[in-house]
Amino acid sequence: MKYYVGIDLGGTNIVAGVVDENYNIIAKASTKTNCPRPAKEIADDMAKMALQAVENANLKIDDIEWIGVGTPGIANSATGIIEYSNNLGFENTPMVKYIQETINKPVFIENDANAAAYGEFVAGAAKGANNAVCITLGTGVGGGIIIDGKIYSGSNFAGAEIGHTVIEVDGAQCSCGRKGCFEAYSSATGLIRMSKEAMAEHPDSVMNKLAEERGKVNARTAFDAMREGDSVAKAVVDKYIKYLAAGITNTINIFQPDVLCIGGGVCNEGDPLLLPVKALVKEEVYTRNSPKNTEIVIAKLGNDAGIIGAAFLGNAK
């Protein structure tokens, strides 16, 4: 049996997992990222978590083939340098070199959304596909593209920023500096913004009652209020789904993947989200009259996608 270590580096947590050749996570270890702090300290903790996960798996580091890291930002997989990550405060950080100062093993790095997409490709919702796109609906909208079984990251390792394609010219402000981005409308953040706007206009909406009970507005507020028969909430959900379907249709029209999987917390809604999205895409996609069209599915691996994908980065290029 062969074993690999995948590390999911996030703004909040560092999680390392030992993954066997059948894509099973057999042990994990985690610690807080504690940003902001020097990149070398974070790298040292990543190495510690890798070693701890190996120990938790009752293995030795010599049993591990390689280590893979999924990180926010622009990760140059050729040089091992994280060129920029605004979430972590990294700039030209030699992450591979730092980790190898503690662990003498091959180390691979990749953008975290790409790593998660690769995880779904090898072991999750896109398993068996040749070409796949994964879109993650979280604080932002992340993207990962697999072409002929390999991660596509562009000439500058910053490809697959699907969330920063515009679907509403001069629309809502996006954190990237543009206006009207897919991310500004289809992220959990965008759904929360649209919910709050509707709540301000309609103070009698069930959404206001739910937010008061829970102490906040979140991505479930509009869906939960819709289920209670709130027409204002239904309008928010319909608007959100319309934008999401538009972004997905654009992505399919460009890449025509075998499978497009969507993940992230919003996808916990399941069929109330997926079925209307699929219906709208079917109406609008350029290949709607084709006998073969992209299959749209919900991601399967959840938070484990990044660990599994990172663990197999040695095969991804």
Q: What is the DSSP string of 231-250?
A: HHHHHHHHHHHHHHHHHHHH
Q: What is the pTM of this model?
A: 0.91
- pLDDT attached to residue 117: 96
Quote the CA–CA distance of 33 and 223 in Å, as a whole number.
Answer: 32
Rounding to the nearest 10 degrees, give the CA dihedral for residues 267, 272, 275, 281: -70
Quote the CA–CA distance of 218 and 302 in Å, as a whole number.
Answer: 19
- pLDDT attached to residue 139: 86
Indicate whether 42 and 136 sit together in one domain: no
**Strand bridging mode 3-9 / 132-137:** unpaired
Indicate whether 169 and 97 sit together in one domain: no
- pLDDT attached to residue 109: 97
**Token representation of residue 209:** 């009652």
- pLDDT attached to residue 87: 78
Indicate whether 179 and 105 sit together in one domain: no
Q: How many domains does the chain have?
A: 2
Indicate whether 181 and 291 sit together in one domain: yes
Quote the CA–CA distance of 312 and 305 in Å, as a whole number.
Answer: 11
- pLDDT attached to residue 224: 97
Indicate whether 142 and 181 sit together in one domain: yes
> Is the bond preceding residue 257 a cis peptide, omega within 30 degrees?
no
Indicate whether 100 and 141 sit together in one domain: no
Listed as ranges, residues in the chain with pLDDT below 50 are none
CATH code for position 279: 3.30.420.40
Indicate whether 283 and 136 sit together in one domain: yes
DSSP 3-state assignment of 258? Answer: coil
Indicate whether 285 and 311 sit together in one domain: no
Helices (H), the chain: 39-56, 95-100, 112-123, 182-186, 188-201, 206-214, 221-227, 231-255, 271-284, 304-311
**Mind listing the pLDDT tens digit for each residue in 46-79?**
999 999 999 999 999 999 999 999 999 999 999 9
- pLDDT attached to residue 316: 81
Range of the domain at 154: 130-298
User: Within a 13 Å sphere around the CA of 13, how many CA atoms are in the beta-carbon half?
Assistant: 11
- pLDDT attached to residue 227: 96
